[in-house]
């Protein structure tokens, strides 16, 4: 009975193919779509495994094997090539030897041998670089887009684009105080923008802070800092003009947390209770000097 039913089905398929050739084309198209879907599913598995390897090597601080996952022509959106990029990774691991990373894949888009992967990432570390008796806590969060290419059946990272990034490094009492830096994620070259520091400052504490603009270059260029007392509404703002060198920027706030007490000697004593650094990325849109309104190109 089952064999008879199978023969009926085959007969129906042949009849449809003979009498409806357009339907045969439709079936062929569907078959091609199914095959393409299988290829993309396999590609996604390979891409996920690539990120798993990245995670494993980073957890082991294995710079040598981590480099193998990146194309020789790798460049990030700050203009750093592969060698500069990994020199900064090495420097980070030396500065924060216990740093841990977490990467969550949000979306994978595949176009042939090319792919883009959207991620959310975080990092946590400690440091005692200021005073071995005082431990600092680093927390970093970012959203990124990785660009990948498949070379000889192997996916490699070809570029990394950091969409937004915020990092805090806190010491002492500052570790328990909420603070954030408001700044645009994207700004046109040469445009003015305002950066605002907000601190949830407890009573009996005073904050002094400095907000600076830093181009993302290597080696970093440290600007001169000018500290001011944070206002009674616990905010401090400063205006900047985005650079015209087509270089992305960081806004960096340096904060000192102090307390004021009256001593037994009748004098006012100021104590440094905590220190913090808050940094956020500002991606600068280059100015296109070749785009003019009202002009037509020759065809």
Nearest alpha carbon to residue 241 among 167, 182, 184: 184
User: Of 59-63, 99-103, 260-264, which range is least confident?
Assistant: 260-264
User: Of 65-79, 136-150, 208-222, which range is least confident?
Assistant: 208-222
DSSP 255-267: EEEEEEEE-TTS-
The pLDDT > 70 percentage for the chain reads: 81
Is there a domain that residue 51 lies in? yes
Residues 233 and 272 in one domain: yes
Helices 2-19 and 21-59, packing angle to 10 deg: 110
Residue 73 has pLDDT above 50, yes or no: yes
Residue 163 has pLDDT above 70, yes or no: yes
Residues 199 and 127 in one domain: no
Residue span of the structural domain in which 218 resides: 177-288
Question: What confidence score (pLDDT) does residue 224 get?
Answer: 77
Question: What confidence score (pLDDT) does residue 183 get?
Answer: 97
Residues 156 and 186 in one domain: no
DSSP 43-75: HHHHHHHHHHHHHHHHHTT-HHHHHTTEEEEEE
Residues 124 and 239 in one domain: no
CB-based contact 13:24 (threshold 8 Å): no
Residue 3 has pLDDT above 70, yes or no: no
Is there a domain that residue 164 lies in? yes
Is there a domain that residue 4 lies in? no
Question: What confidence score (pLDDT) does residue 30 get?
Answer: 52
Question: What confidence score (pLDDT) does residue 179 get?
Answer: 96
Nearest alpha carbon to residue 230 among 186, 179, 167: 179
Residues 56 and 133 in one domain: yes
Q: What is the mean pLDDT of residues 165-171?
A: 95
Cα 114 from Cα 155, distance rounded (Å): 9
| CATH code at position 69 | 3.10.450.50
Question: What confidence score (pLDDT) does residue 219 get?
Answer: 85
Is there a domain that residue 92 lies in? yes
Residues 167 and 186 in one domain: no
Of 106, 140, 171, the position where a domain reaches its end is 171
Residues 77 and 167 in one domain: yes
Confidence of residue 23 (pLDDT cuts 50, 70, 90): low
Alpha helices in the chain (DSSP H): 2-19, 21-59, 63-67, 82-95
Residue 123 has pLDDT above 80, yes or no: yes
Count of domains forming the chain: 2
Is there a domain that residue 19 lies in? no
DSSP tag of 176: G
Of 171, 197, 227, the position where a domain reaches its end is 171
| CATH code at position 244 | 2.60.40.10
Residue 39 has pLDDT above 70, yes or no: yes
The pTM assigned to this predicted structure is 0.82
Residues 123 and 90 in one domain: yes
Confidence of residue 7 (pLDDT cuts 50, 70, 90): very low
Residues 245 and 119 in one domain: no
Residues 58 and 183 in one domain: no
Of 127, 156, 171, the position where a domain reaches its end is 171
Is there a domain that residue 64 lies in? yes
Q: What is the mean pLDDT of residues 209-228?
A: 88
Phi, psi of 107 (to 5 degrees): -160, 140
Q: Sort residue 207 into left (φ over 0), alpha (ψ -120 to 50) or beta.
A: beta
Residues 184 and 282 in one domain: yes
Is there a domain that residue 298 lies in? no
Is there a domain that residue 222 lies in? yes
Question: What confidence score (pLDDT) does residue 106 get?
Answer: 97
Residues 38 and 166 in one domain: yes
């Amino acid at each position: 009975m089952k064999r008879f039913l199978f023969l009926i089905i085959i007969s129906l398929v042949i009849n449809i193919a003979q009498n409806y050739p357009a339907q045969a084309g439709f079936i062929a198209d569907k078959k091609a779509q199914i095959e393409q879907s299988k290829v993309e599913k396999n590609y996604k598995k390979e891409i996920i495994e690539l990120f798993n390897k990245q995670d494993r090597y980073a957890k082991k601080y294995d710079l040598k094997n981590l480099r193998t996952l990146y194309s020789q022509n790798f460049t990030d959106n700050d203009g750093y090539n592969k060698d500069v990029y990994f020199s900064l990774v090495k420097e980070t691991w030396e500065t924060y030897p216990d740093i841990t990373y977490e990467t969550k894949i949000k979306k994978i888009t595949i176009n042939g041998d090319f792919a883009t992967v959207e991620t959310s990432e975080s990092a946590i570390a400690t440091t005692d670089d200021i005073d071995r008796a005082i431990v600092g806590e680093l927390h970093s969060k970012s959203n990124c887009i990785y660009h990948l290419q498949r070379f000889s059946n192997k996916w490699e990272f070809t570029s990394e684009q950091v969409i937004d990034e915020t990092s805090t490094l806190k010491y002492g009492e500052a570790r328990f105080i909420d603070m954030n830096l408001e700044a645009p994620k994207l700004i046109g070259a040469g445009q003015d923008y305002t950066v605002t520091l907000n601190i949830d400052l407890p009573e009996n504490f005073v904050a002094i802070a400095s907000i600076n603009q830093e181009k993302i270059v290597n080696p970093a260029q440290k600007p001169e800092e000018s500290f001011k007392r944070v206002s009674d509404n616990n905010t401090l703002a400063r205006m900047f003009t985005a650079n015209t060198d087509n270089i992305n920027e960081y806004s960096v706030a340096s904060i000192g947390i102090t307390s004021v007490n009256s001593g037994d000697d009748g004098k006012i004593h100021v104590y440094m209770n905590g220190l913090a650094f808050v940094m956020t990325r500002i991606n600068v849109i280059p100015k296109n000097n070749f785009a003019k309104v009202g002009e037509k190109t020759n065809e």
